[in-house]
Chain A
């Protein structure tokens, strides 16, 4: 098959069928803007949840009167528990200092003695900041000799888990709906453009063009429309997130971030949408009889 012919035909829509080309490009762009805005919001909402999880700490309080080597042994054993990333020892004196920072009063003035136990702050690995995983860490740490009590914000983690689950399913549903709608919308727009050319397709078959000879330029055209739509959508997203905050004086980057690769991804998904749309559409018309 002649590559030159296919490329020329693939790009010919810009000259021969400006309106349908424009419609397809705009449809792809709008679909992608919807999809990318949703994805960006989803990613950022997820990072908000993750940052809340980061705030969850576990603290193991130690029995009074432990020797230094015993404390060190406890630290090591806690660090060895699956899911623990880092530990930090807080002595009774440091606990008293923290108390003073938090309450503005010296514990010795209030009680004559320091009742605050020494503790080990436990920082969890990212994947262990869930209610179930934290509970397992809690159980393991609790069993270590010398550890009197372990506390963490169990209720907050449970609430985050529940919200994240609801959010994930909701987002999946909406995302699926937007994706399917986008494919349907793009395929339909491209199908309309190909429908307008069905007589041309019939004539091509009559002249002896093979299915692939007819199909390939249409697919290239769909791909071109998708890529141009993707570029356009990518440009709009770029302008929105880079210049809008200047015009509106709203620091958008505080709550939404778009990584550089995301622009490439938008163009890539555009190409894919155009490709799928044209493959699905041309299949229907290419099988028709040559006589309408």
Chain B
């Protein structure tokens, strides 16, 4: 699903990766940990190809950084669900339209859009708030809308960049439970976080980004 081969990249003069190798298979759940500023977000940008590696190759969902064209990037992103700490919802439209937008871009038929949006909203428990505007929702609810939008196209891979970073502990737990449920259904998840408490409570493979290298690490104490 994700394959990094000897990838080197610097961003804003800062080294993010240097000859890094990494693989994530279909159905995996992997935490990407590292200190603030270590380059976790930049690594995710490499994966949704908003950033290109200076050396090496990034392969994601069948697309390769060495051969992908600008026109193909949207098609890669349709195969990914991306969840951000700051949500990145379309602030000018309601919950339903936010989720539906992911289907509009794939030219899905109107009847199908309705069915799939309502299913996705039911999945995240927000059917009743479908006509609310994003600013009328709590942080946890907004993140659930983002997750619904990320999942409505049934992507094989979900990238989450500090998805609980702006949430209180209770909402964070809800989001984590939701992500686990999604993972159980077969969607691979790569989640960047520096919340070790969550990592402890929801154990999975952990990859640490440190000094431009990616390495598997173990937590000393597990729940």
B-binding residues in A (CB < 8 A) = 1-2, 4-5, 12, 16-17, 197, 199-200, 202-211, 213, 289-291
A206 touches B92 (CB 8 A): no
Given known A-B contacts A203-B90, A291-B50, A208 and B104 have beta carbons under 8 A apart:
no
A200 touches B92 (CB 8 A): yes
Q: Does B116 contact A (CB under 8 A)?
A: no
B92 touches A17 (CB 8 A): yes
A-B contact count (CB 8 A): 61
Most B CB atoms within 10 A — which of A2, A203, A289?
A203
Interface of A (DSSP majority class) = helix
A204 touches B101 (CB 8 A): yes
Q: How far is the CB of B146 from chain A (nearest CB, A)?
A: 9
Q: A143 CA to B13 CA in the complex, in Å?
A: 86
* Interface hit among B72-80, B120-128, B162-170, B211-219: B72-80
Q: From B77, B88, B110, give the contact of A208 (CB < 8 A).
A: B77
B71 touches A206 (CB 8 A): no
A2 touches B107 (CB 8 A): yes
A208 touches B74 (CB 8 A): yes
Q: Does B45 contact A (CB under 8 A)?
A: yes
In which size bucket is the chain B interface?
20 to 34
A-B contact pairs, 22 of them (CB 8 A): A1-B107, A2-B104, A16-B93, A199-B91, A200-B91, A202-B88, A203-B88, A203-B90, A204-B90, A205-B74, A205-B77, A206-B48, A207-B77, A207-B149, A208-B74, A208-B75, A208-B102, A208-B106, A208-B153, A209-B101, A211-B74, A213-B105
B104 touches A210 (CB 8 A): no
CB neighbours of A208 from chain B (8 A): 74-78, 80, 102, 105-106, 153
**7 closest Cβ contacts across the A-B interface?**
A208-B78, A208-B77, A209-B105, A203-B88, A210-B74, A208-B74, A16-B92
Q: A5-B104, A204-B90 are in contact. List 14 more A-B contacts (CB 8 A).
A: A1-B107, A4-B110, A16-B92, A202-B88, A206-B77, A207-B77, A208-B74, A208-B77, A208-B105, A210-B71, A211-B74, A213-B74, A290-B50, A291-B41
Q: A200 CA to B98 CA in the complex, in Å?
A: 11
Q: How far is the CB of A285 from chain B (nearest CB, A)?
A: 15
CB neighbours of B102 from chain A (8 A): 207-208
CB neighbours of B91 from chain A (8 A): 199-200
Q: Does B60 contact A (CB under 8 A)?
A: no
CB neighbours of A213 from chain B (8 A): 74, 104-105
Q: How far is the CB of A193 from chain B (nearest CB, A)?
A: 11
Q: A12 CA to B95 CA in the complex, in Å?
A: 16
Closest to B102 in A: A207
A-binding residues in B (CB < 8 A) = 41, 45, 48, 50, 71, 74-78, 80, 82, 88-93, 101-102, 104-107, 110, 149, 153
Q: A197 CA to B76 CA in the complex, in Å?
A: 24
B75 touches A206 (CB 8 A): no
CB neighbours of B110 from chain A (8 A): 4
Q: A1 CA to B41 CA in the complex, in Å?
A: 32
Most B CB atoms within 10 A — which of A12, A16, A17, A206?
A206
Q: How far is the CB of B98 from chain A (nearest CB, A)?
A: 9
Closest to A202 in B: B88
CB neighbours of B106 from chain A (8 A): 208
CB neighbours of B105 from chain A (8 A): 204, 207-210, 213
Q: How far is the CB of A207 from chain B (nearest CB, A)?
A: 5
Q: How far is the CB of B28 from chain A (nearest CB, A)?
A: 22
CB neighbours of B74 from chain A (8 A): 205, 208-211, 213
Q: A290 CA to B107 CA in the complex, in Å?
A: 22
Q: A17 CA to B77 CA in the complex, in Å?
A: 28
Q: How far is the CB of A96 from chain B (nearest CB, A)?
A: 86
CB neighbours of A4 from chain B (8 A): 110
